[in-house]
Amino acid sequence: MWTGGLWFPPNRHSLDSGFRLWWSVNPGWRKARRHRGSGATLTVQGGRGSGNKGDSHGSTPDALSCRNLGRDKTLLPIGARSPRGELPIIDGPAIDIEECKGTKMANTTLEALLADWRIMVETSLREHLASPEPVLDPYMGMMHYHMGWVDREFRPIARSVGKRSRPLLLLLACRTLGLDAEKALPAAVSVELLHAYSLLHDDIEDGDEYRRHSPTVWKIWGIPQAINVGDGLFGCTFRAMAGLHGTGFGSDTVAVAMSMLIDTSIALTEGQFLDIDFEQRTRLSLDDYTRMVQGKTAALFGTCLACGAHLSTNDGPMRERFRQLGEQTGIAYQMLDDINGIWADEDDTGKAPHQDIRRRKKSFPIALAFADRDIGERMVALYSRDMTAENVEATLVLLAAAGIKERCLHLYGRQLDAIRQTQEEIEHALHLEGRPVDLLEEFIGRLLSVPDLK
C-alpha cells in the first residue's frame, strides 16, 4: 500500500546521514569510512514479496514509507513540520551535493564495455526498425528521426541518440548475474523501444516542441502521424522481446519477460495519466508525486533490472532485489530530472530554461513548495495564473526564499542512501558466489550525478 513519502528499502530502520555520492562514481568507494548521523531516524514501513521463475513479478511492490521522526518521536510525512516548525525534519546532511556536481566516471573497463554494448544495441535497434518496403520509407523514417539517426529529410546525421540507459541497465544486470549480455540483447532492445514509444507520446501529450535540441515528431509531421509512429514503436517493442526465443530461452521464460513488459506498459500510462491530471490540480502532496513517478519512471527502471535478473537466474528473491534497486534508481532519476528542469543549464537538459515552470508542471520541487507552510498558498496562486515571464520570475523567487532547491537536494541525498542500502544487500548476496557488482553500481552512480545548478 501507499503509505507516503519517497521510496526506501524495506526492513531498514535507520539510514546513514553522512553518506556522500562518490560511493558510486569513485572506484575506491569501498574504502570510504561512513558515519551515522545523530539526528532523526527514518522509519520504513512495508516489504516486498519474493518472486519466482514462474511469476513475472512476485508480489506487487509496496510503496514504502519514508517518514521523519519529529523531536517528540512522532512520525511525520516528509515535508511536514514538527510541532516546533522545523522543516525538513532531518538532522545532518545526507549527502555533500557539491562533491558530486559534474562528477565523471573514470573506469575505463566500464567505458569500454558500455561502448561495445551501445554499438550492439544500436545495431539491433536499426535492424528492428528497418523499412520493409519503399512505400513505408517515410513512416520508418519518422521512427528513425525520433531515434536520432536521421534529420527531418531522412538524411543520416550524427546527433544525440540519448544515453540508452535502460538497455544498458538490463545488460549490466545480466553481466552481474553471470549471463552473456548478447543472449539478453532482444530484451535490451525491447525496453529501449518501449521507452522511445513513451517519449514520443509524452511529447504529444505534454505539447513539447523540442527533444534533445531538435523539433519533436509531432511538431514536424503533425499529431496524427506522430501517434501512429508511436503505436508502431509500441508494437516493435513486443516483437523485439519475442526475439529471446532465438537466443536460447524457453517459452516459459519468454512469457514471463513478456508479462513484465505488458505490466510496465500499463504502469507507464498510469503514471502519465497522473502527470497530466496533476497539471489541472491546484493541490499536490509528495505522496501524490511519488505515486506518479512510480508509474511514469520507476516502473521501467525496475523492469530493466528485474528482467535482466529473470533471464539470468532462477533466484526469485534476487530478482526482486534487482527490481527494487531499479525502482529506487528510477525515482531518484526523476527527482534529479525535476531539479534540473528548474535549476540546471539548458545545455545539460536540452530543454528551454524553466520549461517545467512555464508549463506549470507539478514536479518534485513544486510539490515540496505546495506543501510548505510559508509559501504554499502563494505558490498555488501563482500556478493558477498564466505563466508570464514575470510569474516565472516570481515563482523562482519564492522557491529561493523557501530554500526549496536545497531541500530537494537533501531529500535526493536520502534517496541515494536508500539505493546504497539495496546495493549492499545485493553485494552481500552475490559476494557469497564470488560475483562482482562494481560496474552496475558505478553506472547507476553516473546516471545520478548532479550537474552544476543555477
Domain residue spans of the chain: 99-447
| Secondary element (H or E) of residue 66 | strand 65-69
What is the pLDDT averaged over residues 184-210?
96
What is the pLDDT averaged over residues 10-18?
32
DSSP state letter for 450: B
The pLDDT, as a whole number, for residue 8 is 37
Grid coordinates representing 285 are: 502532496
| Secondary element (H or E) of residue 408 | helix 404-431
Grid coordinates representing 84 are: 516546533
Distance of CA 339 to the CA centre of its chain: 13
What is the chain's alpha carbon radius of gyration, rounded to the nearest angstrom?
A: 22
With helix as H, strand as E and coil as C, how does 4-31 read? CCCCCCCCCCCCCCCCCHHHCCCCCHHH
Highest mean pLDDT among 186-190, 281-285, 376-380: 186-190
Q: What angle do CA 326, 110, 22 make, to 5 degrees?
A: 65
Above 50 in pLDDT, residue 211?
yes
Position 202 confidence tier, pLDDT thresholds 50, 70, 90? very high
Name the 3-class secondary structure at 247. helix
Beta bridge partners of residue 2, listed in sequence order? 63
Q: Which residue has the higher pLDDT, 420 or 348?
A: 420
Grid coordinates representing 19 are: 553518506
Q: How many CA atoms lie within 13 A of 256 on its CB side?
A: 24
Q: Is the dihedral of CA 421, 424, 426, 428 positive or negative?
A: negative
CB distance 53 to 256 below 8 Å:
yes
Q: State pLDDT tens for residues 380-415.
A: 999 888 889 999 999 999 999 999 999 999 999 999
Longest dimension (CA), the chain: 71
Which positions ≥6 away from 443 have C-beta within 8 Å? 105, 110, 114, 168, 169, 172
Q: State pLDDT tens for residues 157-180.
A: 976 677 899 999 999 999 999 999
Beta bridge partners of residue 214, listed in sequence order? 211
Q: Is the dihedral of CA 310, 312, 314, 319 positive or negative?
A: negative
Task: Output the DSSP codes for 186-233.
Answer: HHHHHHHHHHHHHHHHHHHHHT--EETTEE-HHHHH-HHHHHHHHHHH
Sheet containing 65-69: order of strands: 42-45, 65-69, 75-77
The pLDDT, as a whole number, for residue 356 is 85
Above 50 in pLDDT, residue 423?
yes
CB distance 413 to 19 below 8 Å:
yes
Q: What angle do CA 367, 371, 375 make, to 5 degrees?
A: 105
Pick 99-447's CATH classification: 3.40.50.2300, 3.40.50.12160, 1.10.600.10, 1.10.540.10. Answer: 1.10.600.10
Distance of CA 306 to the CA centre of its chain: 14
The pLDDT, as a whole number, for residue 13 is 30
Which positions ≥6 away from 332 have C-beta within 8 Å? 412, 415, 416, 419, 448
Cα→Cα distances 87→112, 162, 237, 245, 369, Å: 44, 37, 45, 54, 12
Grid coordinates representing 260 are: 513484465
> What's the whole-model pTM score?
0.77
Kindly state the percentage of the chain with pLDDT values over 70: 73
Weakest mean pLDDT among 47-51, 151-155, 334-338: 47-51
Beta bridge partners of residue 65, listed in sequence order? 45
* Percentages of the chain per state (helix, strand, coil), in multiples of 5: 60, 5, 35
Above 90 in pLDDT, residue 348?
no
Rounded CA-CA distance 39/93 in Å is 10
Name the 3-class secondary structure at 65. strand
Question: Using CA atoms in the order 350, 353, 359, 362, what is the torsion angle rounded to 10 degrees?
Answer: 90
